[in-house]
């Protein structure tokens, strides 16, 4: 009798356990594959939109097939190494207009297919060397409107497919020419509104920018912030004469994965530079003799074009003069021939022909 009473209780307990297990399994499945409650997921478009949701952190799960993730307009402060572990196939990631101040060195290591990364309008002031090292397919990187003092030295090592780089509205004082040379496919570079130092360190950057423009690249502008006598001037319009005391342009420019002052101190001591001049320009202890160079590549090209135009005009004028001279000579020759013919016929006209004179002679006889 007791066993009969216990049997229904066991059945009910088993059923409750099954329900709990099933609920737990469904919850885990939802966590593993579901869409975050605050976001909007478009499965067919492989897109998740979590923009302007007031998020303080990145949700810990997304549909694994997601390729486009919009996270802009939130209050996210930290990007850690597991933030995007559930979406390794991401191609577009927008984290602009947040409060990001800390980016883990391995934050993007799993995103090997990422092509567009937007981190603009945040509070980032430092980026580790290896933070972008896995982004082999990256084509667009926007770091504008942050507080970045220096770009990672290894940024160009594995991001050679980059076509767009935005670093405007930051705290960059110089940029390494060798870093820019590693971006062999770069088409657009936005660098305005940084406190650029226009001294010997920027000479290599000036050469690179002129060559970049000559090849059809696009930039906004690089306005000098220091030294004082160059403040407010465009680096591209500065004559090379101001760099005559600098070392050759082939010497490595120095920049940047640490704060400006510490890097400047180390680089100065390594290359034997000193900054005793009042204008803040950094000169070597033994100044090499300045080499005669064109003011700028653009000025040289303009000079060649203007010279060609002037020579063309002169040639046209000479050709016109030659044609005019030939025509004039031909007209004058014809005129003289006709004049001679008239002079030759004039005596015969005056005295008359023999037939005309014969009747007159007979009448006189």
Phi first, then psi: give them for residue 118, nearest 5 degrees.
-115, 110
Measured between alpha carbons, how far is 328 from 1 in angstroms, rounded to an integer? 141
Which domain does 124 fall in, by range? 31-295
Whether residue 349 sits in one domain with residue 247? no
Whether residue 328 sits in one domain with residue 267? no
Whether residue 308 sits in one domain with residue 290? no
- Residues paired with 223 in a beta bridge: 234
- Give first-to-last CA distance, the chain, whole Å: 191
The pLDDT of residue 303 is 83
Last residue in a domain, options 247, 278, 295: 295
Measured between alpha carbons, how far is 21 from 27 in angstroms, rounded to an integer? 10
Whether residue 184 sits in one domain with residue 37? yes
The pLDDT of residue 263 is 38
Residues 6 or more apart whose Cβ sits within 8 Å of residue 131? 103, 104, 105, 106, 107, 108, 152
Whether residue 308 sits in one domain with residue 240? no
* 188 CB-side CA count, 13 A: 10
Last residue in a domain, options 280, 295, 310: 295
pTM of the model: 0.61
Report CA torsion sign: 252, 163, 135, 58: positive
Q: Write the CATH number for 191.
A: 3.80.10.10
Count: domains in the chain: 2
The pLDDT of residue 338 is 78
Last residue in a domain, options 295, 320, 338: 295
The pLDDT of residue 267 is 38
Whether residue 329 sits in one domain with residue 191? no
Does some domain include residue 312?
yes
- Taking 70 as the pLDDT cut, the residues of the chain under it are 1-33, 248-298, 345-365
Does some domain include residue 115?
yes
Whether residue 320 sits in one domain with residue 276? no
Whether residue 62 sits in one domain with residue 198? yes
Q: In the chain, which residue ranges form alpha helices assigned H by DSSP? A: 2-33, 177-181, 203-214, 260-271, 297-351, 354-364
Does some domain include residue 138?
yes
Does some domain include residue 17?
no
The pLDDT of residue 147 is 96
């Amino acid at each position: 009798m007791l066993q009969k009473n216990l049997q229904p209780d066991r059945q009910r307990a088993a059923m409750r356990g099954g329900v709990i297990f099933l609920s737990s399994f469904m919850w885990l499945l939802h966590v593993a594959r579901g869409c975050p409650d605050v976001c909007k997921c478009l499965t067919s478009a492989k897109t998740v939109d979590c923009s302007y949701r007031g998020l303080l952190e990145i949700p810990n799960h997304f549909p694994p097939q997601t390729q486009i993730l919009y996270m802009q307009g939130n209050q996210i402060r930290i990007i850690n190494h597991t933030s995007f572990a559930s979406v390794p196939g991401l191609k577009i990631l927008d984290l602009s207009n947040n409060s990001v101040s800390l980016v883990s060195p391995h934050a993007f290591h799993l995103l090997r297919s990422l092509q567009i990364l937007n981190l603009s309008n945040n509070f980032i002031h430092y980026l580790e060397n290896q933070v972008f090292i896995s982004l082999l397919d990256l084509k667009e990187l926007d770091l504008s409107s942050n507080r970045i003092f220096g770009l990672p030295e290894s940024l160009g090592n594995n991001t050679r497919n980059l076509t767009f780089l935005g670093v405007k509205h930051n705290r960059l004082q110089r940029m390494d020419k060798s870093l820019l040379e590693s971006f062999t496919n770069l088409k657009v570079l936005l660098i305005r509104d940084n406190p650029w130092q226009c001294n010997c360190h920027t000479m290599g950057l000036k050469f690179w920018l002129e060559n970049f423009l000559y090849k059809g690249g696009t930039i906004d502008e690089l306005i000098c912030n220091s030294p004082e006598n160059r403040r407010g001037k465009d680096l591209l319009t500065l004559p090379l004469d101001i760099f005559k005391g600098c070392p050759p342009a082939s010497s490595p420019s120095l920049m940047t994965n640490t704060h400006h002052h510490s890097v400047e101190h180390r680089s100065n001591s390594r290359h034997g530079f000193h900054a005793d001049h009042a204008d803040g320009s950094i000169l070597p202890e033994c100044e090499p003799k300045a080499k005669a160079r064109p003011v700028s590549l653009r000025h040289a090209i303009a000079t060649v074009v203007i010279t060609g135009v002037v020579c063309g005009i002169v040639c046209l004028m000479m050709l016109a003069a030659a044609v005019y001279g030939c025509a004039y000579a031909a007209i004058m020759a014809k005129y003289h021939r006709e004049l001679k013919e008239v002079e030759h016929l004039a005596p015969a006209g005056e005295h008359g022909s023999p037939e005309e004179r014969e009747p007159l002679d007979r009448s006189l006889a």
